[in-house]
Homo-oligomer: A and B are copies of this chain.
Amino acid sequence: MTASYDVAAVGNAIVDVIAPAQDNFLAQEDLSKGAMMLIDDQRAGHLYSRMAAGVEASGGSAGNTVAGVASLGGRAAYIGKIAEDGLGKVFLHDIRAQGVHFDPTPLTGGPGTGRCLINVTPDGQRTMCTCLGAASLLTPADVDPEIVRNAAIVYLEGYLFDPDDARHAFAKAARIARDAGRKIALTLSDAFVVERHRPALLAFIDSEIDIVFANEAEVTALFQTTDFDTAASLLAARVRTACVTRGDRGSVIYTDGAAEFVPAAPARQVLDTTGAGDQYAAGVMFGLARGLAPATCGRLGSLAAAEVIDHYGPRPQTSLKSLATEAGLI
């Protein structure tokens, strides 16, 4: 059966609060640069009171990715949990305005929509503190089988390995996708997520996953080695497609073990790296869903990542379809 969607993603529905910060602020607040930390409401209130003036923008790793797929001209759907509040309305509006299908049952009477406090240091690196709120209450009931069954690739966000119910939602999505003969992709999301769930992640990859996205810190954490090549080879041996990113040194896409080295695309400036990995995944999966060669998929990923790092905010502000067409990639 032809897929109605190129990509359907399951992720934490999060609104970002993005503000500039100095390195000494990270030290004072005991924040690990470049990482994502989970924080509770009280800590979020404290941290927000000390952050600089910011902007609010819809985020969430997988949400950013499907927005990128749509910007490339792809058909995308999203599964996640928002609350019936102001931030939830913002999230819903923005993802639909990008052309992504999202039809949630908002949470009432519980915590508010998830938010992520992002401090961007002058080197463009983002340090993220996430108060999950409603996002962490995603349950298997939120996974619409019709959506999953009709997507060429189902994309799962590693951050959702933290809440129990969400992990069950993952399992449900994976089972439906498998039964429908679809591809299942997973992003490892964060090195600390990998540390927290290493055995479960490896078992999940072995049993369910066709495509894995990981950056250098995540893949080396997964295989507990400091050597990138060793870690990447170990991952490549376990899945059909392994996409490993290395920041401005580009990425490697392994297909049945064969490596394709992909250069990073030049960015006008590096202002805020928030969403770079998410957009890379968008470009690669759009290409894979359309049956393009790995080298082209990788270049689409690099192009999408370069667009998002030259401005604040985790989603494309320019049509990726136009950029990819100009570059002769689609």
Q: Give me the interface of A with B, judged by CB distance under 8 Å.
A: 19-20, 48-49, 51-58, 67, 85-87, 90, 93-95, 97-98, 112, 311-313, 315, 317
Contact = CB atoms under 8 A, between A and B. Distances in A.
B98 A53 contact: yes
Contacts of A49: 93
- Tell me what chain A mostly uses at the interface: helix, strand, loop, or mixed: mixed
Contacts of A90: 56
B48 A53 contact: no
A98 B54 CA distance: 10
12 contacts: A49-B93, A51-B93, A53-B58, A53-B95, A53-B98, A55-B56, A55-B312, A56-B90, A86-B86, A311-B311, A311-B312, A312-B312
B20 A317 contact: yes
Nearest to A70: B53
A52 B97 contact: yes
Given A86-B86, A87-B86, A317-B20, A93 B57 contact: no
Residue among A48, A55, A98, A311 with the most chain B CB within 10 A? A55
Nearest to A52: B97
A330 to B, nearest CB: 22
Contacts of A58: 53
A55 B53 CA distance: 14
B55 A93 contact: no
A93 B56 contact: no
A56 B56 contact: yes
A311 B48 CA distance: 23
Residue among A48, A57, A313, A315 with the most chain B CB within 10 A? A57
Contacts of A98: 53
Contact of A94 (B53, B87, B317): B53
Contacts of A56: 55-57, 90
A108 to B, nearest CB: 16
Contact of A55 (B51, B87, B313): B313
Nearest to A99: B53
A97 B97 CA distance: 31
A315 B53 contact: yes
Given A85-B86, A86-B87, A67 B94 contact: no
A57 B16 CA distance: 12
Contacts of A54: 57, 93-94, 97
